[in-house]
Amino acid sequence: MWTWFYQMASPKWFFQFTEKLLPWFKAITLILFVVGLALGLLFSSLDYQQGNTVRILYIHVPGAFLSMFGYVLMAISGGIGLIWRIKMAHIVSVSCAPIGAILTLLTLITGAVWGKPTWGTYWEWDARLTSYLILLFLYLGFMALHSAFDDRKAADRASAVLALVGLVNIPIIHFSVEWWNTLHQGATISKFEKPSMDPDMLAALLTMIAAYQFYFLTVLMQRIRSEILEREKMAGWVRKLVGNGQQ
Amino acid sequence: MYQESENLLKIENLAVFRSDLPLFETIDFQLISGEALQISGTNGSGKTSLLRCLCGLSSRYSGSIYWNGKLISSNTHDIHKQILYLGHALGLKPRLTVNQNLSFYQQLRFDADQPNIHRALKALKIENYLDEQVANLSAGQKRRVALARIISEPVKLWILDEPMVALDTDGQAWLEEVCNQHLSKGGLIILTSHQPLKGIDNLTSLTLQPADLNAFYKRLGEQE
Amino acid sequence: MSSSSIALIKRELAVVFRSKNEFIYPVAFFVIVTSLFPLAVTPDPVQLAFIAPGVIWVAALLSILLSLNGFYQPDYEEGGLEQLLLAGVSGTQIVAAKSLANWLVTGLPLVIMAPLIGVLFNLDGRAIGVAFVSLLIGTPSLCFIGSIGMCLTLGLRNGGVLLTLLILPLFIPVLIFGALAVQAASLNDGVTGQLAVLGAMLILSIMLSPLAGSAAMKIAID
């Protein structure tokens, strides 16, 4: 277990390990997206109230799920980097931020598009959308803080502190916003226990969540790899690698 | 005052970094009670960064720094109290008076002991400015106020970054004399200065050699 | 509270009161910003009473945001923070003492001034009382939470703008419950729940902010 942990913490090992993994992840992501979109957009049954507009759920809900997952991953790996001073953990943390921010933005946009036929307006200050707007601010703050430092080590550590503070705050923010306004329909995900959704809708949604999850991991891997190359550009193995690539 | 027992600062294989690059060739030295060390080197050779690492303010180094056999990186809080560090930024509040500034720092470490402050300011010939705001003093006077802390807060290890700057010859002579008194009582001093300090006893000198970056890159390059 | 914390708080207060008028600025800002709303929105008393809770809370939040810099940045630049650490004061003590001093100088005058603004905005007696209490419990949280953002941006160029981006999202829960309490009071609803949540947030921010602020401060000094 520990040897594995230390291997993972070595940028070089990670780079070489993911070299073999990446094509598989790309393939799985592609397959899951094709299957999930086909199930969701073509074959799943319609909601008796919302009609075809319900289909945006298959893009919106996984995005919402993964943007939250991304923040938690970012904060926890930042915390690991801060406490145990592991370079690799900071690389993971920093690489999470833009993906999470994009997914949050996607969630907001699809939420607004969904809102137009459902509520009659693009933007409703409802609890869920407002929480995600604040989540977007947290992501932007993290990225802005990281880029404000000249020194990478200070940037890594300071933004990890910010991510952890944000992690403590997310439940509080969510709870406050819930209290402040509860216009949104009940949580879709929490109904998994007693599915009020049709089984075919549920299958489509779960496939799409898996697709987003693999998409997230694939892009994260790619970002980590470029971050490693950037940071380790003076190391022998990177120079050898890049040199071979050019010749 | 401080204990008469021997104190020891030991540095092993120390390299100090600025944005991942080493500033100077690794150094080793040790300093015992009654010894002073002058660190010299060209501009940008890492003198100030080195001093900040020795104080435990900065952790951008590799190698080991021991104070009385304990690693400073794991006992930072205890060791801080035994160090007086004066850097380029003097740590004085411009709005407060000389007396307020000095007695504040003194209170943090010791019980209030006004005569010490008086004695220090008198020796530095700025006793008339006791109730003057620091903002109204000249650069040299501010430096003298900060230096008064080496009298008003008796600790074992002085780490002084360019203490001679902005001091006139009188002030410099005073500083050398006070340093000698400190050493004879078993204190330790590390200071940087561009000028030779002939007046200080037991002074060894250490010149920082700029790090050979090509060799550093080569070592990195050989890392598998 | 240790003697060094008390000494530190005294010093912070002495620095502020040495300058004859600087501690007036945040309060003046608070009063001026709130008085812009009747001019920009409407002088109608009913509508003013309706927007008052939000206006008072947003203005208080912004005044505290503006006051943060003065308590940390000069001390960082003058080398005061590192001297405090070397004198054996822990990072958490520094942040806690500075947050408390910041509240005494900035937050407390806002709390005292709030009833006056309530009168100008045609709030009824009970709502004014609740505004006073909610600010009394809520503004210290803002000073404590703000210290984290301030310590993270020490020594950065454009630190001020960045501070706003970092810290406003973290202020939102306090803003929501503070304004909700006043709103509920002006609608003659119960306010115990909102005030209790504000109290919980205060305890949480007093416990956690000095830890995060101290970690951030040491990164800046490193």
Kindly state the average pLDDT of the residues B43-55.
91
* Torsion region of A10: left, alpha or beta (phi above 0 gives left; psi -120 to 50 gives alpha): beta
Amino acid (one-letter) located at B89: A
CA distance A150 to chain B (A): 9
Q: Which value does ipTM take for this structure? A: 0.92
| C194 and A193 Cβ atoms separated by less than 8 Å | no
As a whole number of angstroms, the distance between CA B151 and CA B163 comes to 14
Please report all neighbours of A, defined by 3+ CB atom pairs within 8 A.
B, C
Rounded percentage of chain C residues whose pLDDT exceeds 90: 82
Pairing of strands B36-40, B83-86: unpaired
Whether residue B89 and residue C79 make contact (CB cut-off 8 A), yes or no, is: yes
In angstroms, the CA A196 to CA B153 distance is 73
Section A101-118 average pLDDT? 90
Residue A2 confidence (pLDDT): 55
Write down which chains contact chain B via at least 3 CB pairs under 8 A. Answer: A, C
> Does B108 score more than 80 pLDDT?
yes
Q: What pLDDT does residue C188 have?
A: 85
Q: Say yes or no to pLDDT of B3 above 70.
A: no
The per-residue pLDDT for B81 is: 82
Cα distances from B90 to residues A65, A136, B51, B142, in angstroms, run: 51, 41, 15, 8
Q: B19 and A150 in contact by Cβ < 8 A? A: yes
Query: Is residue B18 less than 8 Å (CB to CB) from chain C?
Result: no
pLDDT at A245 over 70: no
DSSP bridge partners of B9: B31, B67
**Interchain CB contact of B90 with C (< 8 Å):** yes
Kindly report the nearest CA distance between residue C218 and chain A, in angstroms. 10
Q: Which of residues B147 and B116 earns the better pLDDT score?
A: B147
- The Cα–Cα gap between B30 and B37 comes to 9
C85: distance to nearest CA of chain B, Å? 7
Mean pLDDT in residue range C39-58: 93
Interacting residues of C206 by C-beta distance below 8 A, sequence separation 6+: C96, C140, C141, C144
Q: How far is CA B48 from CA A13, B25, B65, B193, in A?
A: 37, 15, 16, 11
Selection from A163, A140, A168, A9 nearest residue A74 by Cα: A163
Which positions in chain A touch C197 (Cβ < 8 Å)?
A: 176, 179
- Backbone region of residue B198 per phi and psi (left: phi > 0; alpha: psi in -120 to 50; beta: other values): alpha
Residue C14 in contact with residue C22, Cβ under 8 Å? Answer: no
Give CA–CA dist B13/B54, Å, rounded: 13
- The whole-chain average pLDDT of chain C stands at 93
* Residues B71-86 as b or e (16 or more Cβ within 10 Å = b): ebeeebeebbbbbbbb
C-alpha to C-alpha distances, A234 to A138, A155, A230, B216, B224, nearest whole angstrom? 33, 20, 9, 10, 12
Query: C 47-86 residues with CB below 8 A of B?
Result: 75, 77-80, 82-86
HEC letters along C43-109 = CCHHHHHHHHHHHHHHHHHHHHHHHHHHHHHHHHHCCHHHHHHHCCCCHHHHHHHHHHHHHHHHHHH
Exposure letters A72-86 (e unless 16+ CB within 10 A, then b): ebbbbbbbbbbeeeb
Average pLDDT of the residues of chain B: 87
The region of weakest confidence among A6-20, A193-207, C96-110 is A193-207
Best mutation target, B16, B17, B20, B21, to test chain A (most A CBs within 10 A): B20
The per-residue DSSP string of B124-161 comes to TT-GGGTTSBGGGS-HHHHHHHHHTHHHHS--SEEEEE
Return the half-sphere exposure (C-beta side, CA atoms, 13 A cut-off) of residue B92.
30
For residue B121, pLDDT beyond 50: yes
Tell me the shortest Cα–Cα distance from C10 to chain B, in angstroms. 10
CA distance B20 to chain C (A): 14
Q: Inter-chain contact B77–C15, Cβ cutoff 8 Å?
A: no
**Residue to test with chain A: of C57, C76, C142, C152, most A Cβ within 10 A:** C152
Report the C-alpha gap between B126 and B40 in whole angstroms. 30
CB A71 within 8 A of CB A216: no
Integer Cα distance of C140 and C132 in angstroms: 13
Q: Number of helices and strands (H, E) in chain C?
A: 9, 0
pLDDT band at A183 (very low <50, low <70, confident <90, very high): very low
pLDDT at C167: 94
> Is B223–A150 a contact, with Cβ atoms under 8 angstroms apart?
no
Residue C70, min C-alpha distance to chain B (Å): 12
Q: Do B85 and C82 lie within an 8 Å CB cutoff?
A: yes
The two structure tokens encoding residue C92: 């958490």
Q: Which pair of structure tokens corresponds to residue C138?
A: 């809520």
pLDDT surpassing 50 at residue B9? yes
Residue B5 CB contacts under 8 Å (≥ 6 apart), including other chains: B33
Distance from CA of C3 to the nearest CA of B (A): 8
| B108·C87 Cβ contact <8 A | yes
Residue B224: list chain A partners with CB under 8 A.
12, 236-237
pLDDT tens profile B175-207: 999 999 999 998 999 999 888 888 888 888 888
In the prediction, which pLDDT does B211 show?
86
- Evaluate if residue B82 carries a pLDDT over 70: yes
Evaluate if residue B151 carries a pLDDT over 90.
no
Q: How far apart are CA C75 and CA C98, in angstroms?
A: 11
Q: Does A243 touch chain B (CB under 8 A)?
A: no
Residue B214, chain A, CB below 8 Å: the answer is no
- The identity of residue C200, as a single letter, is A
- pLDDT at C157 (0 to 100): 85
Q: Residues for chain A: how many in total?
A: 247
Token code pair at residue C106: 């900035």
Pick from A133-147, A198-212, B8-22 the range whose average pLDDT is largest.
A133-147
Report the SS3 class of residue B198. Answer: coil
What residues of B are in contact with residue A234 (Cβ under 8 Å)? Answer: 217, 220-221
Distances (CA, A) of C215 to A2, A73, A158, C111, C150: 28, 20, 8, 30, 12
pLDDT at residue A193, rounded to an integer: 42
> What residues pair up with B17 in beta bridges, in sequence order?
B22
Question: Nearest CB to C88: which of B92, B94, B109?
Answer: B109
HEC readout, chain A = CHHHHHHHCCHHHHHHHHHHHHHHHHHHHHHHHHHHHHHHHHHCCCECCCEHHHHHHHHHHHHHHHHHHHHHHHHHHHHHHHHHCCHHHHHHHHHHHHHHHHHHHHHHHHHHHHHHHHHCCCCCCCHHHHHHHHHHHHHHHHHHHHHHCCCHHHHHHHHHHHHHHHHHHHHHHHHHHHHHCCCCCCCCHHHHCCCCCCHHHHHHHHHHHHHHHHHHHHHHHHHHHHHHHHHCCCCHHHHHHHHHHHC
pLDDT at residue A194 above 50? no
pLDDT for residue A114 is more than 90: no
**How do strand B8-18 and strand B21-22 relate by DSSP bridges?**
antiparallel
Return the SS3 of B38.
Answer: strand
Of B86 and A243, which is predicted with more confidence? Answer: B86
By percentage, how much of chain B surpasses pLDDT 70? 95
Rounded Cα distance between C107 and C200, Å, is 18
Q: Which residues of A131-154 are buried (b: 16+ CB within 10 A; e: fewer)?
A: bbbbbbbbbbbbbbbbebbeebbb
Pairing of strands B61-67, B157-161: unpaired
Taking CB atoms and an 8 Å limit, are B221 and A151 in contact across chains? no
Suggest the residue from C83, C94, C105 to mutate for an interface test with chain B (most B CBs closer than 10 A): C83
Q: What CA–CA distances, in Å, run from B148 to B108, B122, B139, B175, B192?
A: 16, 9, 14, 10, 18
As a whole number, mean pLDDT of residues B32-44 equals: 90
As a whole number of angstroms, the distance between CA A185 and CA A183 comes to 7
**pLDDT tens-place string over residues C86-136:** 998 999 999 999 999 999 999 999 999 999 999 999 999 999 999 999 999
Dihedral pair phi/psi, residue A231, rounded to 5°: -75, -30
Three-state secondary-structure class, residue B45: coil
Which of B19, B60, B223 faces A235 most closely, judged by CB atoms? B223
Q: Do A179 and C176 touch (CB under 8 A)?
A: yes
Q: Which two tokens mark B38?
A: 């002058």
Rounded percentage of chain B residues whose pLDDT exceeds 90:
40
| Chain B residues with CB-CB distance to C14 below 8 A | 95-96, 100
- pLDDT tens digits, residue range C25-40? 899 999 999 999 999 9
Give the separation between CA C135 and CA C35, rounded to whole angstroms: 18
- Banded pLDDT at B109 (limits 50, 70, 90): confident
pTM as predicted: 0.91
Nearest CA distance, C215 vs chain A (angstrom): 7
* For residues A13-39, average pLDDT: 93
Please, which pLDDT band fits residue A181 given cuts at 50, 70 and 90?
low
Of B19, B60, B220, the CB nearest to A234: B220
The residue among B17, B73, B78, B104 with the most chain C CBs within 10 A of its CB, best to mutate, is B104
Which residues on adjacent β-strands are paired with residue B195? none
- Mean pLDDT, residues B160-179: 89
Residues of B with CB below 8 A from C222's CB? 57-60
Is the CB of A161 less than 8 angstroms away from the CB of C177?
A: no
